[in-house]
Amino acid sequence: MSPDVARPVRRLAMISLHTSPLDQPGTGDAGGMNVYVIELARRLARQGIEVDVFTRATSSALPPVVEAADGVQVRHVHAGPYEGLSKDELPGQLCVFAREVLRTEAAQPRGHYDAVHSHYWLSGQVGALARDRWGVPLVHTMHTMARVKNESLAEGDTPEPEARVIGEQQVVEAADVLVANTDIEAKQLINLYDADPGRVEVVHPGVDLEVFRPAPQAAARAALGLPADAQVVLFAGRIQPLKAPDVLLRAVAVLLEREPALRDRLVVPVVGGPSGSGLEHPESLAELTAALGLGDVVRFVPPVAQSQLAQWYAAATLVAVPSYNESFGLVAAEAGACGTPVVAAAVGGLPTVVRDGRSGLLVDTHDDADWAHALGRVLTEPGLHDRLAAGAAAQAREFSWDATATAMLETYERARQLMRAEVTA
């Protein structure tokens, strides 16, 4: 089908195969990508774009279509068994999923969708097929990349399979435009996947500044049952080796050896659930907590809704993001928007989100002692916490989903121009 590139983008097919934007972040495979997909879709809809999000159905009870917001529909595609499939088993369902996506479009008038935006490599495989069948441009966001993850594996974590590397390379070659979250990710696409620099666009994700904003710490702590005078070191995210919550716990143990007087006031909430390779040993973090003698300090909290997560950020003295890799670092951005300093690993997109010495501290290693030193500085160094808190709130204003949506619309139009040039060449 020949593309109608003269018409502006009015209707978008968004593909998020392996995780639904309706899922609770912090559970299973749901995380920052889920937030990205639903928030971007909502903001695009506010600008007059109709968005259909295709995702795999994981329960027979799910309705075929859910209206997630005005102008945003989530379509549950039946592909494989509803439950029991791991992410590594999903490639076997790509053909079925793609067939159902194409069938949905075939029931509409010709030229129903103006562009495809796929998220993660599995969705990119489907998006590439839809691009060629519908004659519309494919914009793809990786979110994470196998070669990047394999270069910075946590100890004992499982490398990403070669099949994923090959699949990602195919998507890089098929996409009209690749969206990178940061300049660093753009360079990784170019250097590790030989992406055409002229087809890579950097668009920062955003933060819902209506939900994540500075709030009185005392009120947040009272609502969550935290002591008013506590030193609260928060971890929020999926519990898996990549996110490195174990690094934080070991650092806390070292910190308490150095500063035993902190123990009576220190609280370390871990907000999130096991995910990915963390599901292989779901009790491992609790076992580590006991082995380190931190049972009186650490609190495990199940994943919470965005509004309550904002309360946790507001209640925290600092938020720790010790990940081995982050394509952006949404937790760090959300915490900063609440005016809470972040101590983060200097990896991936985190140096974009956290400005060392201004909105938080960056740690160049995952060494227990280095992390203990950084945490201790924010907790005990006079004036540092307040200075970083002010800087975090100021920097967070640079990230908004409305700005992301506006930049993405420009990216869709660029993809259409590139496709037109390809067709007429």
pLDDT digits (tens, 9 = 90+) for 356-377: 999 999 999 999 999 999 999 9
The pLDDT tens digits for 58-84 are 888 899 999 999 999 999 999 888 877
For residue 25, say whether it is annotated as part of any ligand binding site: yes
For residue 340, say whether it is annotated as part of any ligand binding site: yes
Say whether both 140 and 243 belong to one domain: no
Give the Cα separation of 79 and 91 in Å (integer): 11
Give the Cα separation of 351 and 360 in Å (integer): 10
For residue 326, say whether it is annotated as part of any ligand binding site: yes
The pLDDT tens digits for 150-178 are 988 877 788 999 999 999 999 999 999 99
For residue 373, say whether it is annotated as part of any ligand binding site: no
For residue 335, tell me if it sits in a domain.
yes
The pLDDT tens digits for 78-127 are 988 887 777 788 888 999 999 999 999 999 988 899 999 999 999 999 99
For residue 5, tell me if it sits in a domain.
no
Say whether both 18 and 61 belong to one domain: yes
pTM over 0.75: yes
pLDDT at 1: 47
For residue 87, say whether it is annotated as part of any ligand binding site: yes
Give the Cα separation of 328 and 141 in Å (integer): 12
For residue 105, say whether it is annotated as part of any ligand binding site: no
For residue 72, tell me if it sits in a domain.
yes
Beta strands at 177-180 and 138-141: parallel, antiparallel or unpaired? parallel
For residue 377, say whether it is annotated as part of any ligand binding site: no
Q: Which residue has the tokens 């920052």?
A: 32
For residue 21, tell me if it sits in a domain.
yes
Say whether both 297 and 372 belong to one domain: yes
Confidence of residue 4 (pLDDT cuts 50, 70, 90): low
For residue 4, tell me if it sits in a domain.
no
Long-range contacts of 80-88 (CB under 8 A, 24+ apart): 80/56, 82/57, 82/58, 83/58, 83/59, 87/18, 87/29, 87/122, 87/276, 88/161
Across 371-387, average pLDDT: 97
For residue 238, say whether it is annotated as part of any ligand binding site: yes
Say whether both 149 and 253 belong to one domain: no
Phi, psi (deg, nearest 5) at residue 21? -65, -10
Say whether both 289 and 375 belong to one domain: yes
For residue 310, tell me if it sits in a domain.
yes
For residue 212, tell me if it sits in a domain.
no
Range of the domain at 136: 11-206+401-424
Integer CA distances (angstroms), 156 to 152, 161, 250, 331, 381, in order: 12, 15, 16, 24, 35
For residue 304, say whether it is annotated as part of any ligand binding site: yes
For residue 420, say whether it is annotated as part of any ligand binding site: no
Say whether both 283 and 412 belong to one domain: no
Say whether both 326 and 385 belong to one domain: yes
Phi, psi (deg, nearest 5) at residue 96? -65, -45
For residue 13, say whether it is annotated as part of any ligand binding site: no
Confidence of residue 7 (pLDDT cuts 50, 70, 90): low
pLDDT at 260: 96
Q: Is the pLDDT of residue 423 over 70?
A: no
Q: Which residue has the tokens 């997109």?
A: 349
Q: What is the CATH number of the domain that holds 107?
A: 3.40.50.2000
Number of domains the chain is built from: 2
- Of 392, 350, 90, 116, give the one whose Cα is nearest residue 244: 350
Across 298-327, average pLDDT: 95
For residue 142, say whether it is annotated as part of any ligand binding site: no
Say whether both 71 and 192 belong to one domain: yes
The alpha-carbon radius of gyration of the chain (Å, integer) is: 22
For residue 18, say whether it is annotated as part of any ligand binding site: yes
For residue 43, say whether it is annotated as part of any ligand binding site: no
Residues in the chain: 425
pLDDT at 261: 95
For residue 173, tell me if it sits in a domain.
yes
For residue 381, say whether it is annotated as part of any ligand binding site: no
Give the Cα separation of 373 and 396 in Å (integer): 25
Say whether both 252 and 147 belong to one domain: no
Say whether both 340 and 412 belong to one domain: no
Half-sphere exposure of 218 (CA within 13 A, CB side): 0
pLDDT > 70: percent of the chain: 94
For residue 29, say whether it is annotated as part of any ligand binding site: yes
For residue 176, say whether it is annotated as part of any ligand binding site: no
For residue 76, say whether it is annotated as part of any ligand binding site: no
Confidence of residue 278 (pLDDT cuts 50, 70, 90): very low
Q: Mean pLDDT across the chain, nearest whole number?
A: 92
204-218, 261-275, 277-291: which range is least confident on average?
277-291
Q: Is the pLDDT of residue 185 over 60?
A: yes
For residue 27, say whether it is annotated as part of any ligand binding site: no
Give the Cα separation of 73 and 113 in Å (integer): 13
pLDDT at 425: 58
